[in-house]
Amino acid sequence: MASLDVAGQGLAWTDPVCPVARAVDVVGDRWSLLIIRDAMDGPRSFTDFQQSTGIARNILTDRLRKLTAHGLVTQVQAPSGKRLRYALTPAGKDLFAVIVTLRQWGERHAFAPGEPHSVLVDEHGAVVPRLVPVAEDGHPVTGDTTSVRQPDQ
C-alpha cells in the first residue's frame, strides 16, 4: 500500500518503523473504529453510519474518504441500485480481531460490575471466548513475554 493521505500527498508517519503507530495513524480515532465496527454487520449507507454513531456529516465524510483511501472500505451499489453503500474490503475485515479484542477489553474495564452491555455471540448464540495471543506452540503470550525487534538500521 502506498503511503498516501486522502489528498494523495505523502504521509509523515508518527513512527515510520512501528506497525502500531501506522495502524493508529489510519484507524486510531473514535469515529473510524465505530465506522469499521458498523460495517462488520454488512454494507452501510452514509445515513446508516450517521444514525448509528451520531457523527457529524463533515466528519463522517472525512473518515469515509480516509478509510476508502487506505483500502479499508469500498463503495458498492445498493441492491436497489439507487445509491452507494460502504462495505469492508479484505483489509477492513482483517480488523475483526482488533474490534473483538477492544470490545472484550471494554467489557472488562469500561463498565461497572453488573452494568448491562451488549455481548458478541457466534452464529449459534454462544458468547465469543476471550481472544488471547498465543505463540506458535499454543501457549499464551503477553507484554511480559514478548519484545519488539527493530529493523536493521
Only one residue has cell 454494507, namely: 43
> Cα(21)–Cα(28) distance, rounded to whole angstroms?
9
Q: Tell me the HSE value of 1 on the side-chain side, using a 13 A CA sphere.
A: 14
Task: Note the pLDDT of residue 39.
Answer: 96
CA 11-57-86 angle, to 5 degrees, is: 70
Domain ranges for the chain: 19-93
The CATH number that domain 19-93 falls under is 1.10.10.10
128: cell is 465469543
User: pLDDT tens digits, residue range 2-59?
Assistant: 444 544 445 677 788 899 999 999 999 999 999 999 999 988 999 999 999 999 999 9
Closest-CA residue to 19 (of 27, 8, 9): 27
Does the reported pTM lie above 0.95? no
Q: Tell me the HSE value of 76 on the side-chain side, using a 13 A CA sphere.
A: 12
